[in-house]
Amino acid sequence: MTAKHARNIAFSGIVLIAGAIWIFPLYWALTTSLRSENRIIANTGILLDELNFSAYAAVLSNSKLPMWYLNSVGTSLIITAIVLVIGMMCAYALSQLSFPGRRALYLLVVASFMVPVPALYVAQFILMSDMNLVNTWWGIILPQLIVPVVVIVYKQFFDAIPKEMREAVLLDGGGEFVLLFKLYLPLNWGITAALAIITFISAWNNFFWPFLVVTSEDMMTIPVGITQVNDNFGVAYARMMALALLAAAPVIIGYLLFQKRVTEAVMISAGVKG
Amino acid sequence: MKHKIGKLAAATALATVLAGPTWAQVDVEWWDFLGGGDGVRMKALIEQFNDEHPDIQISATTLEWGLPFYTKVRTAVAVGQGPDIMTYHLSRLPLALEEGVLSPITAEDLETAGLSTSDFFEATITAASTDDGALMAIPFDIHAVVTYYNRTALEGTEWIDADGNLTNLSSVEDMTGLLTWAKDNGFSDPLSFQSEGGGGTWRMFYTLLRQQGGEMLTDGEVLAGDNMDKAVKSIQVLADWRAAGLIPEQASYEASVGLFSGKRSVLHINGVWEVPTFKDSAEADTLGYEWFANEVPQLLDSPATWADSHAFAIPNDDDMSQETRDAVLTIIGWMEKHSLAWAGAGHIPAYKPTVDSSEYATLQPNATYASLANNAAFDPRSKIAGVGSPIYDAVDNLIAPAVHGFLSPEEAAGQMKDQLQSLLD
Amino acid sequence: MSIANRRRRELRAAILLIAPFVIVFAVFFLYPTYKVVALSFTNAPLIGEGDWVGLANYTKLLSDKLFFTSLWNNLYFVLLTVIPTTVIALLIALTVSKLRGRMQALALTLFFLPYVLPVSVVTMIWSWMLDFQFGVLQPLIMAVTGKAVPVFKNPHWVMPMIAVVTIWWTNGFNVLLLIAGLRNISPDLYEAAALDGATPWQRFWRITWPLLWPVTALVLTLQLILQLKLFDQVYLLSNGGPFNQSYVVLMQMYREAFQLNHGGYASAIAMVLFLVIVIVSVLQFQLLRMGGRK
């Protein structure tokens, strides 16, 4: 028994060490960001041995990071809200109502999975330009509203709700919208939260599209801003790592706070129940 | 001329007064690619301008230097989302004409700015104009590569003269001698420059090519005649140094600067725009040695140094109001007249009155390397040349690999000739 | 309420409900899809009209050396990532799922965290760690190869290292899916097998592997499609170099459209990627179904 116990502890230890190695890049970014530039070049060990916040001060005062946060938060929230609402409504119709073209629409949504979205960027860029939306929030948002997985997952969950509950509300004189928002949505808050998290993360982390459609520094999102606007000259490793960590901080903190939900969200969105 | 400026000043003053109560303000969108030391100086200039001009507000964006900047410009101008004013490399002017992104600068425009073409070095005006002589941009500076050196380390050696300048470097062998000595004395990468490709490698290659009197382009032909051999020799020199460990392998731009400030290199060949970086860290006492900069020594047949110019340009935009355009021109005029501060970033102003001033004459290290202006070798004037051009692709894909031994110099130069020629035919 | 009445009401509700999605889908997805197909037969610039050139863009592709390099690099990258990431994720999932309670949560956090990072943060950190002159991992590389290697500048190292970075970044997602799959396997099966005296090895091959196969297949499929869409990491880490050894199809599409102003040709390139992904995913779907039957 004690031998088994000891083995368990040793096993846990090994896994945690592996985990620590896995996360080393983040640790190293932190250590670098807290050193002075000259010491970084002098190459002094891998221990966190200096707490110099000047790189953070320099980055916060010299970059438009706050603006990029705002753009990222704003566009990601709007994308998430719209994607969920329109996806939920469409899924409800697909799941509960019969109308001509229902099957065709569903197949179209499923088939759209196969289209690599970046292959459409040239056409979407032209479209945004025709609509005069290049370098605007809507330019960033609109093409990212296509998230077929939301429709499919919602439909699966709506399908699973017993018909009797639906009939009861209908007999009480409720319409389809009442049904959706008073019955189907409340029954699926869990999945809604999960889909919201997944949609938000992918919108927040999208690089390629905002990189194409944004032209001015003031409109950049976090992932684009930190790569497009930087000091190209001179040694700035501490500042670069400070910038990277500041850019990552919201998602890291968000993940640590809502860990369980995020984990669940990933599993549900891939159709695997945890 | 003076008369005009006076009139203009009066008009501007009047406009300011009239505009005062309503605070009508023209917002000018400014794009540049200036990071690091010269970026700091440019930001200071912009701030000063904004403070002095309540009626004009510059909002500045700094984008990534090189191809990313010019890609953004091209795309943004095409969809009518470009800036109102931007910095532009004159080496890229032929490509800009090809892309149609620039709005011509008329005589009236110059008048609004309070400038005249005769205020500028002629070479820069030529570089900023079309073949027909239409002005497309207003030159701001001439910048070149220089040799930064660790004076403390070289003190007392045969390569430093009584004034503390570099000396006894008149052949490739001399340079190799210095670098070998440095290697033996603890400098792991004696001569640092951006050896990974990009601008740094192009500047080295082109400087060596032109020191042999070689030309990239003659009558529409790439590396014609013995220019081919000269290109091979330029690559060979760099490849030999690399093989002997005298220059760093695949150093990125930042790393090349870091190697020099981290005392792993004794020499550093880079643009004058790094002057403020070393100036600032010497002042902050974090460098740990005495540095200085000289003209790149003549190692081959004739003196030559790669050079380019920054200029101000107005993107093509039919919707631009006259009011904004006037504000942009006011900015350009003001910048030219304050270009002494820009000279502090190492550059040689293109605006002659600044260069002729007594303050400029005492500015160091500018005054020491001012001689290079006579030996400046500008990029060939062609749509295949300039920052972010096909030549830069060839540098990344052929010259840098050859320097690192993945290709022979002959192969690299040959393929470069073929590739670039096919773009011209 | 008559049935006809009810039907009409249902139809009206359905139209109202699907309208927002259908409109967005049509304007920002179907129309661009049509547009890319149409553009690929023209010589249009990025912004502006072009002329119909028939199959000219496609015939030009056939003689475009860079295009084949890019296509090959895409496939090479798939080889470098898809199976390795699945194997690594499986190993991690198997060990982490052996832990209990808090320990498991902690281990999972460590392995999943990179997945939530923006790609540019990931590439900034890794370029710094692998920096040729000052990178913290260079001593490690030196220990193996005898000398430091500028990995994103070396034609042999560049794709494998981009793959390493990509695996580090995206692996957490696969770990999660596989852990979910493992949790769905009933512990009774293992107990029964243990009673029968099966070795851990036998238990893995007879219980875990077959029952986990649907999830493993899902991971493989998702990874395959994801990795074919490679752009961000290449653009940010190596920019396609050295001498195009890491150029991929989407890089070339970007370059043609946005740097060289060839909207038509870029669309033709996008079409090929589109076709490759459709073909590969259909093929893989078939293969995996066969694998599942065994």
Q: How does pLDDT run across A107-154, given as a tens digit for each residue?
A: 999 888 788 899 999 999 999 999 999 999 999 999 999 999 899 989
Residue of chain A with shortest Cα separation from B281: A38
Cβ within 8 Å of residue B355, ≥6 positions away: B343, B348, B349
Q: Flag whether B35 is in a domain.
A: yes
Q: Does the pLDDT value for residue B399 go beyond 50?
A: yes
Predicted confidence (pLDDT) per residue in B336-347, tens digit: 999 999 998 889
pLDDT for C293 equals 46
Domains of chain C (ranges; CATH) run 64-293 (1.10.3720.10)
pLDDT at A233: 41
- How far apart are the C-alpha atoms of A124 and A117, rounded to whole Å? 10
pLDDT tier for residue C57 given thresholds of 50, 70 and 90 = very high
ipTM of the complex: 0.91
| Chain A residues lying within 8 Å of B63, measured CB to CB | 217, 228-229
Q: What percent of chain B has pLDDT over 90?
A: 70
Q: How confident is the model at residue C185 (pLDDT cuts 50, 70, 90)?
A: confident
Pairwise pLDDT comparison (A78 vs A46), residue with the higher score: A78
CA distances to B115, B283, B333 from B136, rounded to whole Å, are 14, 39, 15
Contacts of B73 (CB under 8 A, 6+ apart): B31, B82, B86, B101, B315
The answer to whether residues B268 and B180 belong to one domain is: yes
Distant-in-sequence, close-in-space partners of C277: CB < 8 Å, separation ≥ 6: A114, A115, A116, C225, C228, C229
Predicted local confidence at residue B21, as pLDDT: 45
Question: Residue B256 pLDDT more than 50?
Answer: yes
Picking from B80, B257, B286, the nearest residue to A234 by CB comes out as: B257
pLDDT digits (tens, 9 = 90+) for A157-180: 899 888 888 888 777 777 888 888
Domain count, chain B: 2
Going by pLDDT thresholds of 50, 70 and 90, the confidence category of residue C265 is very high
Q: What is the pLDDT of residue C64?
A: 87
Distances B374 to B142, B209, B277, B305, B340 between C-alpha atoms, Å: 11, 17, 25, 9, 20
Co-location of B51 and B67 in the same domain: yes
C-alpha closest to that of B240 among B402, B365, B120, B20? B402
**Which residues of C touch chain B, with CB atoms under 8 Å apart?**
45-48, 131-134, 148, 150, 153-155, 241-244, 258-259, 261
User: Hey, are the CB atoms on B61 and A217 less than 8 Å from each other?
Assistant: yes
Higher pLDDT, B15 or B350: B350
- Say if residue B9's pLDDT is above 60: no
B16-70 pLDDT, tens per residue? 544 444 457 899 999 999 877 788 889 999 999 999 999 999 998 888 888 889 9
Q: Which chains touch C (3 or more CB pairs under 8 A)?
A: A, B
| pLDDT tens digits, one per residue of A20-40 | 999 999 999 999 999 988 788
Q: How far apart are CA B132 and CA B177, in angstroms?
A: 48
pLDDT value, residue A150: 92
Same domain, B316 and B411: no
Identify the pLDDT of residue B40.
Answer: 84
Select from B75, B196, B258 the Cβ nearest to the Cβ of C134.
B258
- Does residue C121 or residue C292 have the better pLDDT? C121
Instruction: Tell whether the model's pLDDT for residue A1 goes beyond 60.
Output: no
Interface of A with B (CB under 8 A): 36, 38, 41-42, 129, 132, 134-135, 212, 215-218, 227-237
Give me chain C's average pLDDT, please.
90
Q: Please state the rounded mean pLDDT for residues C75-93.
A: 95
B370 has pLDDT over 60:
yes
Residue of C nearest to A145 (CA): C24
Lowest mean pLDDT: which of A1-5, B369-373, C115-119, C265-269?
A1-5
Band of the pLDDT at B10, cuts 50, 70, 90?
low
What would be the CATH architecture of the domain defined by A64-229?
Orthogonal Bundle (1.10)
- Indicate the residue of C14, C47, C119 with minimum beta-carbon distance to A93: C14
Residues B178 and B292 in one domain: yes
B85 CA: distance to closest CA in chain A (Å): 13
Whether B410 and B323 share a structural domain:
no
* Cβ contact A232–B68 (<8 Å): no
Q: Inter-chain contact C253–A122, Cβ cutoff 8 Å?
A: yes
How high is the pLDDT of residue B5? 54
| Amino acid (1-letter code) at residue C175 | V
| Co-location of B335 and B191 in the same domain | no
Q: Token pair for residue A11?
A: 């096993």
Pick the range with the lowest mean pLDDT from A65-79, B295-309, B357-371, C72-86: B357-371
B301 and B315: one domain? no
Span C252-268, mean pLDDT?
93
The verdict on B92 and B193 lying in the same domain is no
* Same domain (yes/no): B228, B266: yes
Contact flag C120-A224 (C-beta cutoff 8 Å): yes
pLDDT band for position A232 (cuts 50, 70, 90): very low
The pLDDT value recorded for residue A125 is: 96
Most confident range, picked from B57-61, B122-126, C28-32: C28-32
The CA distance from C51 to C33, in Å, is 19
Q: Are residues B107 and B154 in the same domain?
A: no
- Residue B78: pLDDT over 90: no
Query: Which residues of chain B approach chain A closer than 8 Å at the C-beta?
Result: 29, 31, 33, 35-39, 59, 61-65, 68, 72, 75-76, 78-83, 253-254, 257-258, 261-262, 273-274, 277, 286
Over residues B174-205, the pLDDT tens digits come to 999 999 999 999 999 999 999 998 899 999 99
Q: Is residue B247 part of a domain?
A: yes
| Domain boundaries for CATH 1.10.3720.10 within chain A | 64-229
Determine if the peptide bond prior to C242 is cis (ω within 30°). Answer: yes
On the question of pLDDT at B2 being above 50, the answer is no
pLDDT at A57 over 60: yes
Give the pLDDT confidence of C130-155 residue by residue, as tens digits.
Answer: 988 889 999 999 999 988 898 998 88
pLDDT at residue A268 is higher than 80: no
- State the residue for tokens 């309420």: C1
Which of the two residues, C162 and B317, has the higher pLDDT score? C162
Q: Which of A92, A224, A255 sits opposite C17 (nearest CB)?
A: A92
Task: Name chain B contacts of A42, Cβ cutoff 8 Å.
Answer: 262
Averaged pLDDT of chain A: 87
If asked whether residues B288 and B312 sit together in one domain, one would say no
Q: For residue B30, what is the nearest residue in chain A, using CA coordinates?
A: A216
CA distance B415 to B421: 10
Tokens standing for residue C136: 């913290």
Per-residue confidence (pLDDT) for residue B230, from 0 to 100:
97
Q: Are residues B100 and B191 in the same domain?
A: no
Find the largest Cα–Cα distance for chain A.
77
Please indicate whether residue C23 or residue C188 has the higher confidence score (pLDDT).
Answer: C23
Mutate one of B387, B397, B399, B411 to test the C interface: name it (highest C CB count within 10 A).
Answer: B397
Structural domain range at position B30: 2-142+308-361
Give B387's pLDDT tier (boundaries 50, 70, 90): very high
Q: Does B188 touch chain C (CB under 8 A)?
A: no
Which CA distances in Å does A253 have to A53, B157, C113, C120? 20, 57, 10, 18
pLDDT of residue A154: 92
